[in-house]
A and B are shown apart, each in its own frame.
Chain A
């Protein structure tokens, strides 16, 4: 417990003495491993890192890291993290949440943290199912998913986490997948280094309650045909043979064959656009199984722009002094005061 917090840190220094208790094969193991690597290269001592979570399987994440941690209650991790960041702007605050915790009870807080640009790193581990409560539909379960709460198939339209974050004016929005460890690590690192609210959706495999729902995006045999890895300033090209690209046609995106379309016509990714229209389009690209004209889904950073983080704004607008510097006598005397004296008419003490 009292291992030195001196730098440099190694990933193993970040393991807590708690036994990890996710199901064997859970995607969270990979996310935890990559997180430790990322933390070890940030140049920050452990005590400056805080992990805040809510409920669900992702909620256990803080217990497994030898940093400060706070598992809160259903949906409120973002609210607690916002208060913590107000209290201690110098901390690196992560929120680990899931599609159930973050988008059901926590949906409202998520929106407001994004619009305020609270300098927290929200990692939304999306497995499209409620795992901890043993397998019910979540706000991201795709239509037709058979769950304990919808045995005949989910029929509510799912939320798209990236679209939610973009609509809430998030300044950093990215997506990655649990088993693509290099991409996962790079994405987490970029989130950590973003100044302001970062939102990362991780496709995660719940091998117990919703197995292989993201196989199209994680299985090396097929994923290159089904996802496009976007990079800033580079054309959007995908396919196992890099034979396809994405082109903007009017107000919609379309998949084109590179053999038929000049490279100059392909869409160049720009994560820094002030208006997030392109990011909105990318967030809505949806893989359709059994459809040869299906769009690929986007992996990578969709949006990364600068806007003053919440604590900077608070500091600029609230000059509340250090409590140790408040002169209470002067403070109480603000406004109109007067003196009652023994047997004498009180004097008027206008300011």
Chain B
């Protein structure tokens, strides 16, 4: 293979030691045009890294437009990969390595690269046209603008083309392989084997051996290029990384994205509860991914229904629940608002319903692909009347599996809607997931009622509140009856479904009479029913795990968060503790009801700092619920919290620093 000479002046930047830098975690960003197969490159690199014994976390950053012009800024596709040694891989504040396949990719993602970070560019793509498309007035590879980084210019396009010359491909075909060339090079640089990708490609192109061979050649060429004396000396000069092996529980693993984890859990919940899954959704950006995934898993899933709008989707899920199925729907952003009415219906009819809500920046359509945590109070209170539901939150892609199963468990056990909050970033991100042993999965009991649950004359049934029953001419004293709103000791009513002889009854959105479920305008009955519905939800707290604390059980500062911010908060607390500060972290997975020990935990710290991607909604809730003062740290940029900004905030609280950047 003809290798292009890599001249000494092509490598610039600070001199580094030649021994590899050992890292516990490395954050890599791949970026290029949508046509550059960035996602494929990223997924394969991540998989190879996982097979080397690392945990991985990935997050695609889709272009804002569906088909943006080649080489333009809106057309840049970015893919973040974290190769980690921790069981729960977490992206760092910035990227350690950036691969920019063209000038636009460099422009969009350079700001994330840490000073001193490794910058790999396809120098062939830095043409005048591409530079102009990206808005560069001078070539950044030839001016001083990249002086803070370790720059490695690689002729990716031309070297890849040369390697593929024997295949006599059209240029466009050959150029499609350049991402595989780059993948081979990355594998070499980060000590990953290209073999798993070869195997994957051979399966993918089993019927097109010539395509497979060209792809294989491109990967090999890239990998060998990393071994070339020029590259070796360049990297030796720039310095290289090694990443520690992960400390994880032994077992069988796979990658799951946020939506995949939820899809797997929904099918698991159907199986464990023996209730058929009816998933009804209207595709919106981000939540639509879940619909696609379940459609792909069709042969395992129950019934997938693409509804005409958000109201129809939740309506169908409620109808399916009335029919005895596991009714599930999903929304993102303002879609949840359109579902409020029917969620209220499921509250008053006390039917099980799971609503997955993918939060994105708002209001209205806002930034429909950017994560935010601004639908918390909407989920708790965004319906007319006193309308309590269970609200829980997913904190990482793989956690989506656990929490979705949990949402289904609670919905079925307590006959209630559950809103499961996730966000636009969590739903697309993927991470290493340990495949559970089937015997460790929770049981989901969802028994249907098959016979009468009362007899007339027993205590409660003939009280004045059941007036319409008492005065019914058709029922005799002592006769067995079915009362749809008769409750067990947990205040849960019976689930009797159409098709069951003898249990015919009517549900509805009008206030019901206690026990019989008949329409009732009686003022005292209404007050009683409001109380029953509230108490039923509040008592679910007894069935939830307590709020756990990472760090000292009492001390100076407690960092409190919920949802997708778990990584930065945990790392910030870890780092502060390693510097000798008394800082703990607690992450709420259940937002309504809150775990029963929540106020006790909060009271054990001098300062409670609630960090969230909204205007302080959880802080507002905690203050209101417990009269405990909380300091709010808020961020509204459609971006995750950074570890450093949390540390700085805590330093300021501790009187160590006055400089806070947000």
Binding site for B on A (CB under 8 A): 1-5, 16-19, 45-48, 50, 52, 55, 60, 62-63, 66-76, 78-88, 90-91, 108-109, 111-112, 314, 318-324, 326, 328-329, 331-333, 335-342, 345-346, 348-351
Contact = CB atoms under 8 A, between A and B. Distances in A.
Nearest to B273: A323
Q: Give the most central of A62, A70, A72, A83: most B CB within 10 Å.
A: A83
B658 interface: no
Q: Give the most central of A91, A338, A341, A351: most B CB within 10 Å.
A: A338
A336 B200 contact: yes
Nearest to B295: A318
Interface string B29-57: 00000000000000000010011110000
Nearest to A91: B498
B366 interface: no
Interface stretch (B216-224, B479-487, B577-585): B479-487
B614 interface: no
Nearest to B324: A87
A112 B300 contact: no
Contacts of A335: 254
Contacts of A63: 506, 508, 518-519
Given A1-B475, A47-B499, A348-B195, A76 B311 contact: yes
B52 A83 contact: no
B508 A328 contact: no
A2 B323 contact: no
B105 interface: no
Overall SS of chain B's interface: mixed
Given A320-B302, A326-B270, A16 B316 contact: no
A276 B468 CA distance: 49
Interface string B508-539: 11100000001100000000000000000000
B571 interface: no
17 contacts: A2-B481, A2-B482, A18-B506, A19-B468, A70-B322, A80-B316, A81-B319, A84-B319, A87-B320, A87-B324, A320-B304, A323-B275, A328-B271, A336-B255, A339-B251, A348-B51, A348-B196
Contacts of A78: 315
Contacts of B314: 79
Overall SS of chain A's interface: mixed
Interface of B: 47, 50-53, 195-196, 199-200, 203, 246, 248-255, 264, 267-268, 270-271, 273-278, 280, 298-305, 307-309, 311-325, 327, 341-342, 344-345, 349, 435-436, 438, 441, 452, 468-469, 472-475, 479-482, 497-510, 518-519
B250 A340 contact: yes
Contacts of B321: 83, 87
Which 7 A-B residue pairings sit nearest by Cβ, starting from the closest? A83-B319, A79-B315, A87-B323, A83-B316, A71-B508, A69-B506, A80-B319
Contacts of A321: 299-300
B253 A339 contact: yes
A50 B323 CA distance: 10
Contacts of A326: 267, 270-271, 300
Contacts of A348: 51, 195-196, 199
A79 B325 CA distance: 15
Contact of A87 (B278, B349, B504): B278
Given A52-B319, A108-B308, 15 more contacts: A1-B475, A2-B452, A2-B482, A62-B506, A83-B316, A87-B327, A88-B497, A91-B499, A323-B273, A323-B302, A324-B274, A336-B255, A338-B51, A346-B53, A351-B203
Contacts of A71: 506-510
A328 B268 CA distance: 7
Contacts of B251: 339-340
B315 A76 contact: yes
A86 B305 CA distance: 9
Contacts of B47: 336
A9 B381 CA distance: 46
Contacts of A328: 268, 271, 438, 441
Given A17-B474, A45-B501, A323-B276, A350 B319 contact: no
A86 B327 CA distance: 11
A72 B341 CA distance: 10
Contact of A18 (B319, B452, B468, B481): B468
Contacts of B199: 348, 350
A109 B308 contact: yes
A2 B254 contact: no
B253 A66 contact: no
A335 B203 CA distance: 12
Contacts of B349: 70
A323 B498 CA distance: 20
B482 A1 contact: yes
Nearest to A82: B316
Contacts of A318: 298, 301, 303-304
B312 A109 contact: yes
A5 B319 contact: no
Contacts of A72: 315, 318, 342, 345, 508-509
Given A70-B507, A70-B508, A324 B271 contact: yes
A337 B435 CA distance: 9
A16 B507 CA distance: 13
Contact of A66 (B51, B504, B507): B504
A88 B472 CA distance: 31
A190 B174 CA distance: 65
Contacts of B275: 323
B271 A17 contact: no
Contact of A88 (B307, B499, B518): B499
A323 B274 contact: yes
A331 B300 contact: yes
Nearest to B452: A2
B276 to A, nearest CB: 6
B154 to A, nearest CB: 28
Given A73-B345, A108-B312, A338-B254, A331 B267 contact: yes
B312 A67 contact: no
Contact of A79 (B51, B307, B506): B307
Given A76-B342, A87-B325, A329-B438, A320 B301 contact: yes
A340 B248 contact: yes
Nearest to A342: B250
A314 B324 CA distance: 18
A32 B506 CA distance: 16
Given A333-B435, A340-B246, A88 B498 contact: yes
A267 to B, nearest CB: 35
Contacts of A67: 504
Contacts of A82: 305, 307, 312, 315-316, 319
A5 B451 CA distance: 13
A322 to B, nearest CB: 7
Nearest to B401: A332
Contacts of B308: 108-109, 111-112
B312 to A, nearest CB: 4
Contacts of A83: 278, 280, 305, 315-323, 327
Nearest to A16: B506
B458 to A, nearest CB: 15
